[in-house]
Every structure is written in C-alpha cells, then in structure tokens.
Amino acid sequence: MALLSYIVALIAISSAFQEQVRSEYDFIRLVQLWSNSICLHFGPIQCLRPTPLSRATLHGVWPDNWTVPLFDCAINPNNAYINLRTPRQIDRRDYYWWNYKLPSHPTINDQRWWAHEWDKHGTCSLNRFTQRGYFQLAENLMSRYDVTTILKRDIQTRYPLIAQVNQSISQFTGFRPELRCQPYRGLNMLVEMIICFDRTGTSIIDCPVLTTSCGWSVTNTIYVPGLQLIRPTQFGV
C-alpha cells in the first residue's frame, strides 16, 4: 500500500512539473530543413517520398527555454493531434511542412509527421496556444520567414562559409540564427536553419548560439547540396 501511494505521488509530482515547465517556456524556434540534405542524411530507408528540390521546408515550431531542453510535454490524452479532414487542407500544410517519412502523400487517416511534432513540441505551448493556434502560427511564420529565397539570392556556392549563411539570414531577420549540420562524406552538411522568436511568436530574437554542429569557427566551410543562385532580376531588384 505504501509503495502504491509512493508511485501515485511520483506521478502527481511529474504531472505538476510538466505543467510548470509548459508554462515557463522562454522562446520559440522556427526550425527549417534544407530539402536536399534530408535524404542524404537519413537515407532511403527513412526518406521514403521524393523530396522537393532545393528549398526549405518546416521541421517544426519548438517552444524551448534557455536552460533545460523542452520537449515531450504531452501528458493528457485529450491533447492528441486532430487530423486535417480535407484534401485541400492537407495539400496546403504538406507544401511547407513536407512529410518526408511517409511513403506517399499524407492522407486524412495518416498524418503521423505532424502528429509527432504536435505531441513532442506543440503541446509545450498549450498554456498559450490551442492546437489550431499552434499550427496557424507555424503556417504564418513559415510563410513570412522561409529562408529559401534568401539563401538562393545571397549564397553563390554550394560550399559557403558559415559566416556567409549566418550573415544572409541575420540580414533578412535582423537577428542571429542557429545552424545545424550533419556529417556527410567528410563535410559538414547544412541540414537545419533556425530563426528564434519570443514566447508569443511575434518578435524575432537572437538564437542562443551562433553555430553548433556546423563548427564554431565562422571561417569553416559547409555543404549546401543543390543550392543554386537565383539571379537578382528574379526578385525585381
């Protein structure tokens, strides 16, 4: 009986802690993936769909704090992901939030990538956003801060310096981004580009670190597969 009471107490403490953490997230990461890097990194076993070429897609919108990483906040089954119910809604979200791990286009019954992102990250924002509000925020941020055009306009090589990519994004946003790379054939391959926002998702802020897995030296070269220069005339400048 004493053991049962102890276990119940631990569960209650854990639930209370999760609720406290959820209410204390400090900022939000808008995490974008570089499409050409994903399948090179994951390989054909996990990357099942043909990928959109040479553009950024959304990995997720991640509430976080400055100290302990924040994720997996879901503790209430009532907060489970709710599937989109129309093909038009699915197509719209799939364009900017591409589901790489499905063998085919997401369906009304199979939206596992978005469900995973909601369960792992979206639920950490429940003190501020409903599920609908969270996904609307994701769409709004991605439509305004998609880095595809910026990189293609500013970076003229597939092997830029870290400083060049950082500068391109920071000039676009006015604040410091975060870059994440993965090793590929002896190179640091750019996989994720992150723009950080305040806890409301309305104001851009500096990300916590300048670079991580891409290397600490701004003179390091990274690999951006498939990056092609878009001529300035295509932007009307």
- Return the CATH number at 225: 3.90.730.10
DSSP result, 156-168: -SSS-BHHHHHHH
pLDDT cut 70: percent of the chain above it: 84
Query: Which pairs with CB-CB distance under 8 Å and at least 24 residues apart come from 64-72?
Result: 64/25, 64/26, 64/27, 64/28, 64/29, 64/124, 65/21, 65/24, 65/25, 65/26, 65/27, 66/26, 66/27, 66/208, 70/21, 70/25, 70/124, 71/120, 71/121, 71/124, 72/119, 72/120
Cα 74 vs. chain centroid, distance in angstroms? 18
Query: Of 31, 28, 62, which Cα lies nearest the Cα of 192?
Result: 31
| Residue 60 tokens, joined | 């997720």
pLDDT band at residue 67 using 50, 70 and 90 as cut-offs = confident
Dihedral of CA 195/196/199/201: which sign?
negative
| Side-chain half-sphere exposure of 140, counting CA atoms within 13 A | 11
Contact predicate 51/229, CB 8 Å: no
The string of pLDDT tens digits covering residues 160-203 is 999 999 999 999 999 999 999 999 999 999 999 999 999 999 99
The pLDDT of residue 173 is 97
Question: How confident is the model over 39-46, as a mean pLDDT?
Answer: 82
DSSP assignment letter at 124: G
Q: Check residue 59 and give left, alpha or beta (phi > 0: left; psi -120 to 50: alpha).
A: alpha
Find the domain containing 90 and state its range. 2-235
Question: How confident is the model over 5-27, as a mean pLDDT?
Answer: 52
Number of domains in the chain: 1
Cα-trace Rg, the chain? 19
The pLDDT of residue 228 is 67
Query: Of 123, 19, 124, 114, which Cα lies nearest the Cα of 64?
Result: 124
The pLDDT of residue 7 is 41
Could you tell me which residues come within 8 angstroms of residue 126 by beta carbon, excluding any fewer than 6 positions away?
22, 73, 79
Asked whether residue 14 carries a pLDDT value surpassing 50, the answer given is: no
Return the higher-pLDDT residue of 60 and 13.
60
The string of pLDDT tens digits covering residues 122-172 is 999 999 999 999 999 999 999 999 999 999 999 989 999 999 999 999 999
pLDDT band at residue 8 using 50, 70 and 90 as cut-offs = very low
